[in-house]
Amino acid sequence: MNLEELLENPVKWNWIKRLFYASLVLVVAADFLIPRHHVFFFWDEIPGFSALYGLASCVAIIVFSKFLGHHWLMKRENYYD
């Protein structure tokens, strides 16, 4: 079974999504359980901060890229006429 068949089957795709979500929850939960020994900044002590910061950064990059693409890169439909 190849990857394309897995992604096209809705039942298997839902199973894969749940597996990824569970792994994300486990990583954030591990952040609450594992103590930090070498803390350099105050935000290093906040559990789950790295995951939240990564998510916010990714969303900001996507929103900025879409804004830049729509307002600077895209041209009118009849631009070359």
How many other C-beta atoms can be found within 10 angstroms of the C-beta atom of residue 31? 15
Taking every pair of Cα atoms in the chain, the longest distance, rounded to a whole number of angstroms, is: 64
- What is the value of pTM for the model shown? 0.66
Residue 57 reports pLDDT greater than 90 = yes
- How many helices (H) does the chain have, and how many strands (E)? 3, 0
CA separation for the pair 18, 35 (Å, rounded): 27
pLDDT tens column, 14-55:
998 999 999 989 988 988 888 888 889 988 888 888 888 999
